[in-house]
Structure 1
Amino acid sequence: MKTLQKIWRAVEEISAGVFFFGGITLIFYGVVMRYGFNSPKAWVEEVVRYVIIWGVFLGFSIALRHNQHIQVDLLYDKMPGKMKKFVDLFATLVSIFFCLAYTYYGYVLVEARYHSGMVSLDVGIPMWIVYLILPISGVLFTLRFIERLVQLVRGKDVKYDNPLT
């Protein structure tokens, strides 16, 4: 099980990193072509947008794993321990249901774009490929929240996950 978790973490981090690095590399290429060679490439901006979006959506799962998403915990910090556990369980269950709906409707959107044959303007990338990150990230979010739920039920503190492990 630990090996599977390490592989899962590595795949998440490498894939998000590859998309971010690819996006930054394409931005650099676009700037050099535009200002260095006076030959702007119209397709670069569109592809960069899609690549960065994929990197961000894959990165959300990593942020969730490390509990580095935005949260307001002013009231939460003042609660007693049992109340905190109840709130954590409730929030995690609601998050799982949200992620399941997010995944389902992401799939519906991908399916609609696939059947419509819609493509991007400059490059002609099928839009279902662009939108495919929605159900993929939804599955990753759901798995992370289920992992969090299991840790909460086992009594482990998920509030401060160490990002270096």
Structure 2
Amino acid sequence: MTKFWYIIDNIESYICRTLLAIFVCLLFLQVIVRTLFDFSFSWVEELSIYMFVWFVFFGASYAAKMGAHNRVTFQFRFLPPRAIKYIEAFADLFWIFFNVYFVYLAIDFIFNKMNRFQSSQTMGFHLSWVYIVLPIAFSLMTIRVIQVNYKKIVLGEDLRDPDAIDLEEVRAELGDAAEKPSPDGEKK
């Protein structure tokens, strides 16, 4: 059962990796075929575009899980860490409301307002298969925002943007390197 929850917890990562690998291979194949045989598959570009769109939306959900979405954080420098946690959670409530409303609009569009005969140009499948990523990804994103806030507020975990952590590590290394004397005895 633990493996099942591990897969569910990382589903966006697996989907993004798979989509990225497939559409990069398809585009590479397209380049090779065009270069060597002066021929192209019309469906490869269209499928790659759709896969890239799916990749972006699942990637946004994965970024929400990692706490890596862009935020304006300058004002937090002047606040105690405990207050920051609750202000971010309050801001995330607006994000959740937006996502829920967007899921509602996307489902309404796909199942009620979309042209029933609208299909992709070269592949011929109904475009609702492309647009269905919207309610799926925004639902996952909502779950991830709630999950991150639960971990921060209830469990007390310090979830920060992975890039911010990497930046702090680089600054620490540069700070250490700046204080270390060089081989000739001078400080850098």
Over the matched positions of the two proteins, sequence identity in percent amounts to: 26
Counterparts of residues 26-105 of structure 1 (less than 5 Å)? 26-105=26-105
Q: 2-side partners of 1:86 and 1:10: how far apart?
A: 26
Q: Is the 8 A contact 1:119 1:127 kept in 2?
A: yes
Deviations 1:105-162 (A, max 9, x none): 1211221466622101121121000000000001101100111232243152444266
Q: Distance between the aligned counterparts of 1:92 and 1:152, measured in 2?
A: 12
Q: CA separation of 1:113/1:14 partners in 2, compared to 1, >3 Å: closer, same or farther? A: farther
Q: Deviation per CA, 1:49-102: give whole Å up to 9, x if none.
A: 001111121111111111122222111232223431331121121111111112
Are 1:57 and 1:137, in contact at CA under 8 Å, matched by a contact in 2?
yes
Q: Against the structure 1 CA distance between its residues 158 and 145, is the aligned structure 2 distance closer, same or farther, given a 3 Å change threshold?
A: farther
RMSD (CA atoms)? 2.3
- In the alignment, is the contact (CA less than 8 A) between 2:152 and 2:159 conserved in 1? no
Could you tell me how far apart the structure 2 residues matched to 1:17 and 1:31 are? 21
Pair 1:116-2:129 in alignment: no
- For 1:158 and 1:109, locate their aligned partners in 2 and report how far apart those are by CA, in whole Å: 38
Q: Please, what TM-score do these two structures have when normalized by structure 1?
A: 0.86
Structure 1: gaps spanning 5 or more residues:
none
The 8 Å contact of residues 103 and 138 in structure 2, kept in 1 or not, is answered as yes
Larger radius of gyration: 2
Per the alignment, do residues 5 and 77 of structure 1 end up closer, same or farther by CA in structure 2, a change over 3 Å counting? farther
CA contact (8 A) 1:113 1:128 kept: no
Aligned to 2:166: none
Q: Which runs of 5+ in 2 are unaligned?
A: 164-188
SS class of match (2:38):
coil
Preserved contact between residue 30 and residue 41 of structure 2 (Cα < 8 Å): yes
